[in-house]
Structure 1
Amino acid sequence: METSTVLSLLPALILFSISATLTPGPNNILLAYSGANFGFRKTLPHIVGIRIGMTCMHLAMLLGLGKLFEQYPMLHQVLSVFAASYIIYLAIKIARGKPNSSNSSASPMTFSQAALFQLVNPKSWAMLLTLVTALTLPNEQYWPSALLGVIVFNLATLPCSFFWVAVGRYLKGFLQNPQKLKRFNLVMASLLLLTLPLIFY
C-alpha cells in the first residue's frame, strides 16, 4: 500500500468537507436557529450529536449500507416519507416556539435527537455517499482511504458547525425584540421546509 497515494486524497477531502458542510442545509439551519434562541452552550449537545450521528452513518455506509438500499428500494421510499414528515414537524415546532416564554415547548435539540436526525437528513446522505463512492480508493487502499475520510470529514466540518451557531448568536443581537425573534424563527422554519425537495431528488 502506498501511503502517499492515500494521502493524495487529502486536499480533495478537505475541500469537499468544508464546502459541503459550510453551505446551508437542514443541520446548519437548525444550528443557526439554536444559536439565536438558546446560545452556544446549550447547542453543544446538538453539535456533538451531528458529528456522532454522521460518523456512525459514514462507517455503516463504508460497511455496505448503501448496497442494502440498492437491493431494497422500498427502504429508501419509507425513509424519504419519514424524513419529510420529521422535517415538517421540526419546522412547525420552530415556527411556533417562543423561547422567551416559560410555558414554551421550545428547547434545543438533544444529543440523541441530533444524532438520529442525520438518518432523515437528505444532505447528510448525499455528502456521505460522495465520500464513500468518489473519495475512497479501491482494493487494499479502500479502508486506509476510507478511514482517512472519516477523520478529515470530522475535523474539517466541526468548525463549520461552530460557524453556524456563531451566525445565530450574532443575529440574536438584532433580535432582542420578541417580534423580531418570532420572524427570524419563521424564516428558519421556512428555510427548513425548502430542503424538502432534496429528500425526493
Structure 2
Amino acid sequence: MQIDTLATFTFAFITTFTPGPNTISSHAMGLNYGYRRSLPYFFGIATGFFSIMLLSAALAAALAHLMPKAVSFLAVAGSLYIFYLAYHVFTSSYSFSQTSHKMLGYRNGLLLQLLNPKVIILGLTVYSTFLSTMARTPFNLVASALCFTLMSFSALSTWALFGMALSRLLRTEGARKAVNAVLSLLLVSTAVRMLFTLS
C-alpha cells in the first residue's frame, strides 16, 4: 500500500477538527478563560497527543515487523472504522454541554490524552494503514507525529477562538446536516481509496 497523502490528511483533519473531548473542552476553556489563559491546557493536550502518535508509530512498526500480514488486516480494519466514523459523523447532533468552570492546566490536558479514544484510534489507524510503508526513521516518525500534533493544536485553537460561532452553526439543523454530509462523504471516499490501494 502506497502512502496516499490526501487520504491521510482528510482522515486526520476530520478526526481532529470534529467535536470530541479535546475540541469541546477547548471550546469551554476559550469561552470561560480566554485563549491566552488556556494555552497551558492546550500545550498539555499537544504533548500527550504527540506522545501517543509516537507510541502508535512504534506499535505499528513492531506489528509490521513481527507480523507482516497484519498490515493488510489492519488496513481493512482501519477502513471499516472509517466507515463507522463516517456514519457517526453523518448522524451526529453534537453536544456542547460539557462546559468547564474549573481552570484546567498542562497536566489536565496531558492526562486527557490517555483517556481519549479518538486520539488513540487516530494514531493506530494512521500509522498501521496510511503510513504503513513510510520509512521508520527517527526523523520521519518525529516529523509525522509533529505534523499531526500541529493539526490538532490548530483544531484546539479554532474551537477556543471561534467555538461559539461553530457550535451555533452545528446547532442549526440545515447547516449541521450539510456539514455532516460533506464530512461523511470525505471519510467514505478516504476509506474507499485506502481499500483500493491495498496490495
TM-score, L = length of structure 2: 0.57
Instruction: Name the residue aligned to 2:9.
Output: 24
Q: Which runs of 5+ in 1 are unaligned?
A: 1-19, 103-108, 137-145
Instruction: Name the residue aligned to 2:24.
Output: 38
Q: Which amino acid aligns with 1:126?
A: F
Q: State how far apart, in whole Å, the 2-side matches of 1:160 and 1:46 are.
A: 12
Deviations 1:75-96 (A, max 9, x none): 2343233222211111111111
Q: State how far apart, in whole Å, the 1-side matches of 2:25 and 2:173 are.
A: 16
Instruction: Name the residue aligned to 1:158.
Output: 149
Instruction: Name the residue aligned to 1:9.
Output: none
For the Cα contact (< 8 Å) 2:78–2:129, is it kept in 1? no
**Superposed CA RMSD:** 3.9
Q: State how far apart, in whole Å, the 2-side matches of 1:150 and 1:115 are.
A: 16
Q: Which amino acid aligns with 1:91?
A: A
Q: How does 1:40-59 map to 2 (within 5 A)?
A: 40-41=26-27, 50-59=49-58
Q: State how far apart, in whole Å, the 2-side matches of 1:52 and 1:96 are.
A: 31
1:130 and 2:126 correspond: no
Q: State how far apart, in whole Å, the 2-side matches of 1:54 and 1:178 are.
A: 35
Indicate how the Cα distance of structure 1 residues 57 and 76 shifts in structure 2: closer, same or farther if over 3 A, else same.
Answer: same
Q: Which amino acid aligns with 1:33?
A: T
Instruction: Name the residue aligned to 2:117.
Output: 112
Q: Which runs of 5+ in 2 are unaligned?
A: 30-41, 98-112
Q: State how far apart, in whole Å, the 1-side matches of 2:67 and 2:175 are.
A: 43
Shift in Å, 1:180: 0.7
Instruction: Name the residue aligned to 2:36.
Output: none
How many percent of aligned residue pairs carry the same amino acid?
18
Shift in Å, 1:195: 0.7
Indicate how the Cα distance of structure 1 residues 51 and 125 shifts in structure 2: closer, same or farther if over 3 A, else same.
Answer: farther
Indicate how the Cα distance of structure 1 residues 129 and 155 shifts in structure 2: closer, same or farther if over 3 A, else same.
Answer: same
TM-score, L = length of structure 1: 0.57
User: Which entry has the higher C-alpha Rg, 1 or 2?
Assistant: 1
Secondary structure (helix, strand or coil) at the match of 2:134 reads helix
Deviations 1:150-170 (A, max 9, x none): 444444542222224555647
Q: State how far apart, in whole Å, the 2-side matches of 1:167 and 1:124 are.
A: 28
